[in-house]
Amino acid sequence: MSLAAKLDEQKDKTIKSQKGFIIMLFSIVCLVCINNYQLRQTMRLYLPPDLSVGQVIEAGEVDKSYTYFFAYNILGGIARWKKNGEVEYSNNISMYRNYISSHFEQQLRKDFVKRSSDEKGRLNELKNRTREMTLIRPDKPSKMVKKVGSGNFVVYLDVQDEERLAGVIVKSGIYRYSLNVAVDTGNLLDNDTGLRVLGFADEPVLIQ
Say whether pLDDT at 16 is over 90.
no
pTM higher than 0.75 for the full model?
A: no
Cβ atoms of 142 and 119 closer than 8 Å: no
Q: Which residues pair with 162 in a beta bridge?
A: 132, 172
CA distance 26 to 146: 43
pLDDT at 208: 82
Cβ atoms of 181 and 190 closer than 8 Å: no
**Chain-centre distance for alpha carbon 9:** 67
pLDDT at 67: 94
pLDDT digits (tens, 9 = 90+) for 141-159: 989 999 999 999 999 999 9
pLDDT at 48: 42
